[in-house]
Structure 1
Amino acid sequence: MKSFLHEIIEKLISEGIDFQNSVFILPNKRAGLFLKQALSKQLKQTLFSPEIISSQEFVTNLSELKELNNIDVLFKFYETYCEITSSEQTESFDQFSSWAQILINDFIELDRYLIDPNKIFDYLSAIKEIDHWSVEPNKTEHVKNYLQFWNHLKTYYTHFNHKLTSEGVGHQGLQYREAVNNIENYIENNNKQHFFIGFNALNKAEEIIIQELLSQNLAKVFWDIDIHFLDNNHHDAGFFVRKYKEKWPYFRTHLFEIVSNNFRNNKNIQVIGAIKTVGQVKQIGALLKDLYTNNATNLENTAVVLGDEQQLLPLLNSLPTEIEHINITMGLPLKSVPLSSFFELLFNLHKSNNEKYYYKDVIAILNHSSLKPIYSKIQAVEIENFIQYISKNNLSYFDYDVISKHIATAAKIIDALFCSWENNPVLALKNCRNMVLEIQTVLNKNSSAHLVELSFLYKFYTIFNKLIGLQEQFSFINSIQILFGLYKELLNIESVDFKGEPLKGLQIMGVLESRLLDFETVIISGVNEGVLPAGKQHNSFIPFDVKLENLLPTFKEKDAIYTYHFYRLLQRAKNIYIIYNTDPDVLSGGEPSRFIKQLEIDGIHHLTHSLSIPNAQIKAVELKSVSKTATLLDDLKDLAIKGFSPSSLSSYVRNPIDFYYSKVLNINEYDEVEETIAANTLGNVLHKTLEEMYKPYVGEILEEKHIKTMFKSIDGIVAKHFKTYFYDGNFTSGKNLISFEVAKRYIYNFLQRELEQIKAGRIIVIKELEKPIQVTLDIPELGFPIHLKGVIDRIDTVDNDWRIIDYKSGKVNQSEVEIVNWEDLTSDYKKYSKSFQLLTYAYMLHQTNVIQLPVNAGIISFKNLQDNFVLNFSKKNKAGNGAVKDPKITTETLDAYFEVLKNLILEIFNPEIDFTEKIIE
């Protein structure tokens, strides 16, 4: 394969040009290295290298203005804005920056395309005036300010450009405008031959500059275009070059160079669908391994082109270990580096300057991967203990003192992280830089293993130094919020550059870095709509129709740029692998790119389609099972002596493996901080509130006056128990306030129903509240004692009939406390666990002679008090609507229940029956 650059050098050598008196202008610096390589391989004599520069360097020299980076341009614009805006209307820098960057981009566009600013801005002002036309004679203050902004755009532009030129600096657009103004003077003082190589989409300024040099016979232009795209008036890959060929006067009398005919050559094109970013980079890794192993192609003539720059880090982790030489020409965006998220967390913690920190923010910082290497073992233990302390004490918010007290051995780190920044940018930058140095000190101890991390750290160190310089120079950087905005701006424009041998090994690059470069094997990833091409984006104050009218680029032109670069990669390549994301995702490309469909419709090449399916082995679900060893049976005996509760027995019915973990091994779920009041907390509050209210009247006949007294104490008692169970949690606002009000309403509704019962003439006597109870079961088959234990919410008599009550804060239906078959008690946890609990309580109370049979047992569900105050347990003689219910628990009822209970306990202790996991639907 003969590359485009080699074709050019061959042609120029054959024409006998004076290389030492020539200037080669290329779209980017990267291509200059490959041009020098082509020169060295084809020139036979020794000579001084010609001047090889990028188009931006050429324009900078021509304009005689020093180029400013985006941040410096933003600051210069803010200075201009403050100078011409009254102090009463001047926005703070963070407000200003939210719209200024868009406006600056518009200024750059206008200058690059040499548009008369007066025409554009006067037109925009008139449009906005019409948009806000009103029958009201007087405009509102809001409308006045809005229109004033549009009227000031021309003033902003004029003053801004004047300020920059007077200081000898400029943004890219201003450089182009000044370059056009200086081109005549440049031609008069320069006799070198200029070669413009491989350009495609030129702005108006570039067109004029090149045409002026062409007209004076000081330049030649070599287009990297294929005849297939040039002759097809509907193909966007030739959109720009066709226009230049047709409209530039120079090409009416001169040859159009160089037009190749490589696209129709035989090509192996494979289109591969893969899942998400991971699937794509894994597929690239597999392709590279095959290419390397089979020696099917030379990896030095292979390029991986990433349509999405976010794929770079995952790709580096997916490359085959056999590949020794890799050259990465694209920079890794600094915002993709893990360390960027750490500092973003830190800024978010401090920007509001609160005295107390939100627990999730603190934990996210302490657990961040960037900090893990710097913790000693003791510090790591302290941090883990502190996180458990937060959960145990339900701390949603706490101050610096709480953190420093519990993590005493890492005082220096904790000070830098959590000591208040006092809304002071100087202090903030000092702490951030100290954190960089602290991490660097630890990583330097084993620098060979942390080369990549150290390069990231160095980049962040330079960023914070840059911010320190800006803060010292500009007084308006006076808050953490403004500083944070600048930090994010710098992250967006900075990248980490990788060092490597540029002409050796596998090439990994972005789409724009591939300009002028040709490879035999090309792997292109991210070929999805919204990625390649990027899709319709309009970050501009200039409306679409105004852009069309003034020949400014729109998404149509940007699509054509992507189309050209995509097809240019394919022109000379022999093996092409096009990889796209098969998983629809609106944010990062939802469907295969139109380029794939266009290749199919062209019909020139056969495309092989395939899907990359992860090599994942699907294993049958293996239910966990634990056999009952002699040691385990001894543990069960100890548990039996301590006592089984109805809930523990129900947990066995629900899932034996959960019973094993929680009751035998005593492994409980991790406690989390309750930001919003959990159901169990609400249940505890309701239980304790009713216990405290009713306790003074135990043993007495309830009267109306008792209930009315309770009504008055609802607020205070509920609040008291919320403070007890919700620890330091706040329940004065938001969802927690709603839960607090719900709890009060539940208690009010409960008392109201109780009062209705009393008014109806029912004689209610409270016998016991929150009564703990324990009994011993007689099971001869086991030969050791089995204890049952529990706490019964309420025992009372109604008209001299005994009743057992259990409170539930959730919703319970009547069907959940009715049974037909006794064996159902231990087979259907979801439906019969509440019946099992009531029967267990009745059995224990009867065994201890606390109650007399027959007795009623029921549930009071706070969520459906309006249906039935008490949902009574009942035994039905058959299923269906014709069933006869028996609500009384008698001796026969408890005898039948005991048989079920006995069988359940025998099963638990049966060494032949393992603790086997159940699949819970």
Structure 2
Amino acid sequence: MNTLHIYPTSRALRTISQNQKETDGFLPTLMRMDEFEQRAILLENKIQIDPLQRILLLRKAATFDAFEDLKLDLSLVRFFTKSDALFKFFEELSAEGVSFDTLAEADAYAEFGTHLEILERLLANYHSLLESQGYTDKAFVPQNYRLNEGFLTTYESIEVHLEGYLSQFELKLLEDISKQVALSIHYTTSKFNVKMQERFEALGVTLPNHKHIHFSLSDKKILQVENNERPLDAKVYAVEEREEQIAIAFREIEKMVGSGINPEKIVLILPDESFKEHFTLFDTHNNLNFAMGYDYSNGRIYKSLEALYRYWQSRDDESKKLLERYGFNLEEIEKVPTGKKSEVGLFFAEIDRLGLHDTPLVNGEKKEKFNERVYEKYLHFIKVLESEELTLKEWLFLWLKSLSKVTMDDVRGGLVTVMGVLETRGVSFEGVVIVDFNEGVVPATSSKDQFLNSQVRAFANLPTKNDREALQKQYYKRLLEQANKASIIYSTSDNKLPSKFLYELGLEKAQQTQAQFDLLYNQPSQLNVQDDPVVEHFDAGAITWSASRLKTFLDCKRKYYYRYIQRLQAKPEEELNEGAFL
């Protein structure tokens, strides 16, 4: 039977594919959920706009007088920062099928209606600009699509392995597809996904709680039910300092491997993925495999471009010293006309001249070694923005934003996987270690409530902050209950508290522990031991003594030796700390 299986993440696809290779028979047809949604719909005579283009177009759509009442700066840098919240707001309203009229009925505060009218006008202006250029945006897809029947009918049935949340648009899309092809859903219910259960109930499928369920969306019938009775058993450790968690995590991983668990079946979860930099420092034996990769933004090229942008923005002494620190020729930098508008090609020619573009230019000389991912980003950048004219400073800002999303694969060969919780959807591990299990970190707070408070969201039946937190809790619960061994670690420094989610999981008792620091620091010293310098012939009478020279001699003989005998000059300024780059 030709069945399409849909999973939430690429890792889930790889895991299922690998497991199937170990059995006899044909491999199933697998697809990621977002890819399936893109292929299942057709947009008539429209191209989906690029993420960078959409920001420039939305900025253009905001050039009307009333927009000033929102107190959003239209300068590119400031508008770019706020545009993400605007797009999320528009996309969420569209995906959940909520109109501005519905929101206006909530009447949250005095100027609420006026602000909604401004946002509605901004969206209308943006839509008109898109239409005039033959584009569409994610915010308008739910109202302007038709099913790709040619694609859907190539399968006899479709099975969706659902782990997360479906918007009203996604739910309607699946329901429409279920009328064309037999479509069923695998879902695990709990107290953390009641909102999704209510949405299925509105479609005519009532799901029992705390069960593994396989049901047909086409026939609105439950096909199979299994009790979810696996106990959730995890050890909870409290440490004082955040860095101590690293040693405890390594210790727990070592215990799991010692108990017979394959290192490839162990996962280290970082709720705050920036913590990976700390783990990388202490992973001296390359045991870890960072699934999220390494940030290109920690490299020399990016840091140099960032320093250049900082100087162009402020031109103060501190940013000037930073440029010198990176070896810039300040005379050359001063000659660059940062305020003059130019095409994108001239911008890249300029940064290539400064040695800050580590890929070949389209019409430039070939480079033997270059970063392929940056090259792909560069080609895409010049293609979508070829008709724009911006100042060099604005071009640099946009290019830095593009590069900030580039990651480099971890190719060190570590066996223990390190990832964020979202990547665990659809995947199970035998051993699980979670760090940073503190209030405010687990579950992570969201920025989607910038325009609407929880009361307005509840009134309009939009997902609230509590709904989104409950969804994250479900991910953690699924991860922990499928593991044979699990360890949770949190820190208590700076008055940090453990996540209240611990109590919801029934894991109230934590063991206060102290890290074995030899796990982190058991390495030979890097210091070079030197004998004290000896001056065999020192004639004080032959020296012309100044007051400062005499004071140095009396205060510290070694300092006198370096300054007046070796003639070593002190550095004029303190070194600027560049963190990860150093």
Which structure 2 residues correspond to residues 250-399 of structure 1 after superposition, within 5 A?
250-251=205-206, 254-255=221-222, 259-261=226-228, 263-264=230-231, 267=233, 269-271=235-237, 273=239, 275-276=241-242, 279-281=244-246, 283-285=248-250, 287-288=252-253, 294=258, 296-321=260-285, 323=287, 328-351=290-313, 358=316, 360-368=318-326
Q: Which of 406, 416, 419 is residue 495 of structure 1 equivalent to?
A: 406
Pairwise CA distance, 1:510? 1.8
8 Å CA contact 1:350, 1:421 repeated in 2: no
Pairwise CA distance, 1:314? 3.9
**Letter in structure 1 aligned against 2:336:** S
Q: Residue 568 of structure 1 aligns with which residue?
A: 478
Following the alignment from structure 1 to structure 2, what is the Cα–Cα distance between the partners of residues 87 and 150? 11
Q: Which of 60, 64, 87 is residue 104 of structure 1 equivalent to?
A: 87
8 Å CA contact 1:272, 1:610 repeated in 2: yes
Pairwise CA distance, 1:88? 12
Larger Rg computed on CA atoms = 1
Following the alignment from structure 2 to structure 1, what is the Cα–Cα distance between the partners of residues 310 and 459? 44
Q: Which of 25, 34, 42 is residue 45 of structure 1 equivalent to?
A: 25
Pairwise CA distance, 1:264? 0.6
Pairwise CA distance, 1:592? 3.1
8 Å CA contact 1:350, 1:420 repeated in 2: no
SS at match of 1:611: coil
**Letter in structure 2 aligned against 1:299:** P
**Letter in structure 1 aligned against 2:352:** R
- Structure 2 unaligned segments of length 5 or more: list them: 208-219, 361-366, 523-528, 575-582
**CA deviation vs aligned residue, 1:147-194 (integer Å, no higher than 9, x gap):** 5x6533223323434654686654334334445xx4697999687322
Following the alignment from structure 1 to structure 2, what is the Cα–Cα distance between the partners of residues 192 and 521? 37
* CA 500–112 in structure 1, closer or farther in 2 if over 3 Å, else same: farther
Pairwise CA distance, 1:37? 2.9
**Letter in structure 2 aligned against 1:639:** A
* CA 536–31 in structure 1, closer or farther in 2 if over 3 Å, else same: closer
* CA 263–419 in structure 1, closer or farther in 2 if over 3 Å, else same: farther
Pairwise CA distance, 1:221? 1.1
* CA 613–208 in structure 1, closer or farther in 2 if over 3 Å, else same: same
8 Å CA contact 2:433, 2:488 repeated in 1: yes
Q: Residue 611 of structure 1 aligns with which residue?
A: 514
* CA 644–109 in structure 1, closer or farther in 2 if over 3 Å, else same: same
TM normalised by structure 1 equals: 0.51
Q: Residue 596 of structure 1 aligns with which residue?
A: 502
Following the alignment from structure 1 to structure 2, what is the Cα–Cα distance between the partners of residues 532 and 336? 26
Pairwise CA distance, 1:279? 4.5
**CA deviation vs aligned residue, 1:260-291 (integer Å, no higher than 9, x gap):** 535416x4525353734x55445545554565
Which structure 2 residues correspond to residues 458-469 of structure 1 after superposition, within 5 A?
458-469=372-383
Q: Residue 175 of structure 1 aligns with which residue?
A: 141
8 Å CA contact 1:245, 1:256 repeated in 2: no
8 Å CA contact 2:237, 2:489 repeated in 1: yes
Q: Residue 62 of structure 1 aligns with which residue?
A: 40
Pairwise CA distance, 1:628? 9.9
**CA deviation vs aligned residue, 1:187-242 (integer Å, no higher than 9, x gap):** 996873221103322212223333455577822111134xxxx2xxxx53x44454
* CA 526–473 in structure 1, closer or farther in 2 if over 3 Å, else same: farther
Which structure 2 residues correspond to residues 193-208 of structure 1 after superposition, within 5 A?
193-208=157-172
**CA deviation vs aligned residue, 1:106-134 (integer Å, no higher than 9, x gap):** 110101111123433x558x767x349xx
SS at match of 1:251: coil
* CA 640–563 in structure 1, closer or farther in 2 if over 3 Å, else same: farther
TM normalised by structure 2 equals: 0.76
* CA 131–115 in structure 1, closer or farther in 2 if over 3 Å, else same: closer
8 Å CA contact 1:201, 1:561 repeated in 2: yes
Following the alignment from structure 2 to structure 1, what is the Cα–Cα distance between the partners of residues 154 and 377? 40
Q: Residue 781 of structure 1 aligns with which residue?
A: none
Q: Which of 51, 65, 74 is residue 55 of structure 2 equivalent to?
A: 74
Is 1:472 the counterpart of 2:356? The answer is no
Bigger helix share: 1
* CA 434–517 in structure 1, closer or farther in 2 if over 3 Å, else same: farther
Following the alignment from structure 1 to structure 2, what is the Cα–Cα distance between the partners of residues 640 and 509? 69
SS at match of 2:206: helix
* CA 546–648 in structure 1, closer or farther in 2 if over 3 Å, else same: same
Following the alignment from structure 2 to structure 1, what is the Cα–Cα distance between the partners of residues 201 and 62? 43
Following the alignment from structure 1 to structure 2, what is the Cα–Cα distance between the partners of residues 69 and 196? 28
**CA deviation vs aligned residue, 1:465-496 (integer Å, no higher than 9, x gap):** 44444543223x2x23432442343245x232
8 Å CA contact 2:152, 2:181 repeated in 1: no
* CA 671–212 in structure 1, closer or farther in 2 if over 3 Å, else same: closer
8 Å CA contact 1:112, 1:173 repeated in 2: yes
Q: Residue 704 of structure 1 aligns with which residue?
A: none
* CA 256–551 in structure 1, closer or farther in 2 if over 3 Å, else same: farther
* CA 187–60 in structure 1, closer or farther in 2 if over 3 Å, else same: closer
8 Å CA contact 1:224, 1:516 repeated in 2: no
Following the alignment from structure 1 to structure 2, what is the Cα–Cα distance between the partners of residues 261 and 468? 52
Following the alignment from structure 1 to structure 2, what is the Cα–Cα distance between the partners of residues 202 and 156? 27
**Letter in structure 2 aligned against 1:429:** F
**Letter in structure 2 aligned against 1:115:** V
SS at match of 2:494: coil
8 Å CA contact 1:436, 1:461 repeated in 2: no
Pairwise CA distance, 1:430? 1.6
**Letter in structure 2 aligned against 1:350:** W
Is 1:157 the counterpart of 2:115? The answer is no
Following the alignment from structure 2 to structure 1, what is the Cα–Cα distance between the partners of residues 6 and 284? 37
8 Å CA contact 1:305, 1:525 repeated in 2: yes
Following the alignment from structure 2 to structure 1, what is the Cα–Cα distance between the partners of residues 277 and 432? 19
Which structure 2 residues correspond to residues 291-690 of structure 1 after superposition, within 5 A?
294=258, 296-321=260-285, 323=287, 328-351=290-313, 358=316, 360-368=318-326, 403=330, 415=332, 419-424=335-340, 425-426=342-343, 427-435=346-354, 457-475=371-389, 477=390, 479-492=391-404, 494-498=405-409, 505-535=415-445, 537-538=447-448, 540-584=450-494, 590-599=496-505, 601-602=506-507, 608-615=511-518, 631-632=535-536, 634-635=537-538, 638-644=539-545, 669-672=570-573
**CA deviation vs aligned residue, 1:776-804 (integer Å, no higher than 9, x gap):** xxxxxxxxxxxxxxxxxxxxxxxxxxxxx
Pairwise CA distance, 1:350? 3.0
Query: How many correspondences in the alignment?
Result: 539
Following the alignment from structure 2 to structure 1, what is the Cα–Cα distance between the partners of residues 530 and 13? 67
Is 1:115 the counterpart of 2:98? The answer is yes
Q: Percent identity?
A: 16
